[in-house]
Amino acid sequence: MSGHMNLTLKVWRQKNKETRGKFVTYKADDISPDMSFLEMLDVVNEGLTRKGEDPIYFDHDCREGICGMCSLHINGRPHGPKEETTTCQLHMRSFHDGQTIVIEPWRAAAFPVIKDLAVDRSAFDRIQQAGAYVNINTGGVPDANAIPIPKDVADEAFESATCIGCGACVAACKNASAMLFVSAKISQYALVPQGQTERYSRAQAMVAQMDEEGFGSCTNTGACEAECPVGIKLTNIARMNREYFTAKFFKQEEAH
Ligand code: FES
């Protein structure tokens, strides 16, 4: 059909965490430019299933850019070539007829491969659980306007809260640092009045968990910000460092 594309895919196939993976080449023929990247993989998988072969395993859920489950490294970039776009929202019109597309899972020691293109991102859940709770009075439901939050602060907190936890920041970083993710999660609570009670202990707990999970350190290359599909800003990392060092300072003061 006119406008449709024939592509060559080099896909990382790996049975499980224990086995070694390798690239396998597939043809993806007659692909519509209007298809999403994941729909294109669905078509390839239908072909594999028809031939009795094992379909390519990849993560996805909402396919609307909300859940953060899709996670492909496409031609060397997390979520592919388009800025601020998740893999599920990436369309095949971003590629051209005859192109070879290399598809890999996130590469980071803290994100072991489960199978093929899917990695285990439970380290992110454990970091969240280490600190992302708030102590609130569960008595009556407070009036929505009872705690005024300045608009600029609310906007900043909202921006941090848009992090979908996909892990592209880790995949983009040469040190596999999780600082952008963790700093966004810390910021979303540190900025609003409801998050103040545990403000500093939260920063310490989440950073400690991040280190325990084996993520690398941040050397300010900015690759994470450049590849983040929802545009989380590096300024979150500066805020997180402030929170963390203030927490340390308070602890020292208490000890004296
Ligand atoms: S599948 Fe939910 S963000 Fe891509």
pLDDT at 144: 65
CA of 211 to the centre of ligand 1 (A): 27
For residue 48, the one-letter residue type is: L
pLDDT at 159: 87
For the chain, the structural domain boundaries read: 5-115, 122-255
Q: CB within 6 Å of ligand 1 — which residues?
A: 60-63, 65-70, 86-88, 164
239, 190 in Cβ contact below 8 A? yes
Q: What does the pLDDT look like over 53-87, one tens digit per residue?
A: 999 999 999 999 999 999 999 999 999 999 999 99
Helix, strand, or coil (residue 58)? coil
Torsion of CA 90, 79, 12, 127, to 10 degrees: -140
Q: What is the mean pLDDT of each run of 10 residues along the chain (256 residues)?
A: 88 95 97 97 98 97 96 97 96 97 97 97 94 66 71 84 96 97 89 75 91 94 96 93 79 62
pLDDT at 156: 83
Class of domain 122-255: mainly alpha
CATH 1.10.2020.10 correct for 5-115: no
pLDDT at 192: 77
pLDDT at 150: 81
Token reading at 136: 């609130």
- Residue for token pair 């499980």: 16
Please state the atom number of ligand 1 nearest to the C-alpha of residue 86.
4
For residue 143, the one-letter residue type is: D
| Cα R_g (the chain), whole angstroms | 21
Q: What are phi and psi of 185, to 5 degrees?
A: -70, -40
β-pairing verdict for 5-13 and 73-74:
unpaired
Tell how far CA 210 is from the center of its chain. Answer: 14
